[in-house]
Structure 1
């Protein structure tokens, strides 16, 4: 039985607190790395550590989430991340911080996310039920809070508090995770579904079963491809956006930060718009529209080379990004049995992160070979192809995520 609105309120409150703390560390971690070393590879390794956690731990974490009580997973990972960041803050405050210690801390916090994120996504249908409208509205609120904390509020707070004391943003994030854990204690137990034969599969067969389910389910497979395609093209263009902004739009660091803030505002608006779209439009049509919107936005940025047009275009990218996250998340929750939800979220997230990393590498290489305009051309061209493929899929087979 779905729990009351209080359960969703607790999930949303914990998300807002914890994600804002994570947004602070997103800004503070590279600042700390740069204060400890001027080696570009070492600084980049700090950012890469979070992605490495998903690549190494993501799939096993999803399988374990599907067999453990989800409230226990949420609370324990928040507490573990609070301890890691508390220790890091202590090392910084006492002058014992180092780049290896920072990399380990970022990796461990990323490992926590590998468990927390699938458990949180799997908890939503347990809290609000499996009605499509209820799921899309819950996901819309969740992703709007995520965008607000991770991209709009958290990074400026992280940079500002780092300027006051290097340990402060990490200590505050530790406190945010503790507060999130306390809030989540108010949820019901949210037990995972019992295994059908009375015992759980071993981890590797469980991972294999989840992947087989994903890639043999036509709708889930298509939505996973859509998310990967969206992330691939986005990061091809975004990887060198800062150079385009500096060279073609003639904006400095503050101007670039404001453009990113505009994108975040578009993302927050997407959390409000997406549920209203998803109620009437099949997921595949939404994905086709989002892919087209992103392609048009990058083309507008390139062809106009105008600050105000770029602001509008990046707001559209933010709106499209949140929309596909909301619609895709709700569709997965509707189409996936409860005992598989952790694995579906982890596998889809892994594909999305892998595509994002690949896109960033491609974007950098393309810009090096053919100039800073080339990634926008390439991204727009790819998005046109991906959009056409989704339109073709809509024409040949109706969506089952209704």
Structure 2
């Protein structure tokens, strides 16, 4: 028998566990970004409601008012895809600061012109173009920066809080802009300039990590845009979730116009129509706040499918409701659900997309949804011309039902709940 004793091996130390992520409420970077854009969006929407009022007051021309407002949408569409390339190539914080500075300077120039009775339609068109292009550039920069500021598990909450912020900015800015215009024609634009300036200062303190990216070929803007479009199209899950967002925007915007027209033909007072529109915003804010919980409980697939079916069930009710206030309640209920689908879609897309393509992803999504948002009212207008209002609503409901069936049967969407995507493929 050997006298040697076995020497116990050294205990293997378990690898240290990663520290828990900082809660969003204490995440300095996220709070700076969210707070700065809460100010910026308030100012932007105050200007948006004041712009047509200013043009009408100065020119009396509805066509000129449409030109100015159309310039904003056109600039956003035209700048969308190039903006995504810029976001993927250059420093995102610098781009966001540039957007805020450009909007502040443009708004100040309009304040000076209105104050001095020198405002012209070409000047207002130029300011509108700056506003639209800056919005097109800032959105992909912010969305691409979001996964760098928050933990992957917190991304649904961050996306939904951004959605709530946008709804609150639209509600408060639109309501306040009209009041400020009554105080003075230049006042809403002065408030906008102040908000963008404050947002610029806040973003100066943002510390944004700089991820490693593949070297980009300078000067090949068109090729880079095509690369982004090709990647989105080839990624089946990205392609299908974008299609879901497009269908939601198309039918919901068509339905909204149909209901507004139907309310007018039924003699609903304009005050009640205003309440209807406001309740849509209230429901959107509440839905955005509830989205993280619903997304966490349902998962991506069930969240998207539940939204389609909820809208399918609720849409036909508008055909038999004659009260503007009750229609407002219906709008609020319907607006509760889309933020959950948007949260599921955006979270899946951001986590599945490499960092160097996230700007182009957001630009493609914004372009597709913007086109659907523009086509929806056109579709709604055609429906109201061809059919009585209640039947037009049923057509919108049928479109929603068809989309709900296709989404429910989609194997690609069903697979979303079973996949745990890597943050940086």
Q: Shorter-normalised TM-score: what interval?
A: over 0.9
Cα gap change, 1:384 to 1:38, in 2 (>3 Å): farther
For 1:203, the equivalent position in structure 2 comes to 221
Of 105, 110, 120, the residue aligned with 2:127 is 105
For 1:135, the equivalent position in structure 2 comes to 155
Higher mean C-alpha displacement, 40-49 vs 264-273 = 40-49
**C-alpha separation between the residues in 2 aligned to 1:220 and 1:316?**
28
Higher mean C-alpha displacement, 115-124 vs 34-43 = 34-43
Cα gap change, 1:302 to 1:54, in 2 (>3 Å): same
**C-alpha separation between the residues in 2 aligned to 1:75 and 1:395?**
38
- In the superposition, the TM-score normalised over structure 1's length comes to 0.93
For 1:216, the equivalent position in structure 2 comes to 234
Unaligned 5+ segments in structure 2 are 1-17, 421-425
For 1:391, the equivalent position in structure 2 comes to 408
**C-alpha separation between the residues in 2 aligned to 1:394 and 1:341?**
25
Unaligned 5+ segments in structure 1 are none
Of 274, 277, 280, the residue aligned with 1:260 is 277
Q: Is the 8 A contact 2:251 2:376 kept in 1?
A: yes
* CA deviation vs aligned residue, 1:207-243 (integer Å, no higher than 9, x gap): 1111111111111111110111011101212224333
**C-alpha separation between the residues in 2 aligned to 1:364 and 1:45?**
20
**C-alpha separation between the residues in 1 aligned to 2:45 and 2:402?**
33
* CA deviation vs aligned residue, 1:266-322 (integer Å, no higher than 9, x gap): 111112211112123232332222222223333111122234431222012222232
For 1:163, the equivalent position in structure 2 comes to 182
Of 88, 93, 97, the residue aligned with 1:75 is 97
**C-alpha separation between the residues in 1 aligned to 2:227 and 2:376?**
28
Q: C-alpha root-mean-square deviation of aligned residues, in Å?
A: 2.1
Q: Is the 8 A contact 2:180 2:187 kept in 1?
A: yes
Give 1:137 deviation, angstroms: 0.8
Cα gap change, 1:401 to 1:93, in 2 (>3 Å): farther
Cα gap change, 1:104 to 1:240, in 2 (>3 Å): farther
For 2:81, the equivalent position in structure 1 comes to 59
* CA deviation vs aligned residue, 1:38-95 (integer Å, no higher than 9, x gap): 4333322222222211221100110111111111111111011111111112111111
**C-alpha separation between the residues in 2 aligned to 1:66 and 1:283?**
26
Of 7, 27, 30, the residue aligned with 1:5 is 27
Q: Is the 8 A contact 2:276 2:329 kept in 1?
A: no
Q: Which secondary structure does the structure 2 equivalent of 1:175 belong to?
A: helix
Higher mean C-alpha displacement, 279-288 vs 1-10 = 1-10
Cα gap change, 1:297 to 1:38, in 2 (>3 Å): farther
Of 144, 149, 169, the residue aligned with 1:149 is 169
Give 1:366 deviation, angstroms: 1.8
For 1:241, the equivalent position in structure 2 comes to 259
**C-alpha separation between the residues in 2 aligned to 1:117 and 1:159?**
25
**C-alpha separation between the residues in 2 aligned to 1:371 and 1:200?**
55
For 1:32, the equivalent position in structure 2 comes to 54
Q: Is the 8 A contact 1:140 1:326 kept in 2?
A: yes
Cα gap change, 1:309 to 1:67, in 2 (>3 Å): same
* CA deviation vs aligned residue, 1:166-198 (integer Å, no higher than 9, x gap): 111011111111111111111114435422x57
- In the superposition, the TM-score normalised over structure 2's length comes to 0.88
Alignment of 1:339-358 (within 5 A): 339-358=356-375
**C-alpha separation between the residues in 2 aligned to 1:324 and 1:88?**
38
Give 1:115 deviation, angstroms: 0.8
**C-alpha separation between the residues in 1 aligned to 2:162 and 2:302?**
22
**C-alpha separation between the residues in 2 aligned to 1:10 and 1:396?**
34
Of structures 1 and 2, the larger Rg is shown by 2
**C-alpha separation between the residues in 2 aligned to 1:200 and 1:296?**
51
Q: Within the alignment, does 1:311 sit opposite 2:331 as a pair? A: no
Q: Which secondary structure does the structure 2 equivalent of 1:304 belong to?
A: coil
Q: Which secondary structure does the structure 2 equivalent of 1:239 belong to?
A: helix
For 2:145, the equivalent position in structure 1 comes to 123
Cα gap change, 1:300 to 1:37, in 2 (>3 Å): farther
Q: Within the alignment, does 1:336 sit opposite 2:358 as a pair? A: no
**C-alpha separation between the residues in 1 aligned to 2:395 and 2:33?**
39
For 1:194, the equivalent position in structure 2 comes to 213
**C-alpha separation between the residues in 2 aligned to 1:246 and 1:378?**
19
Q: Which secondary structure does the structure 2 equivalent of 1:280 belong to?
A: helix
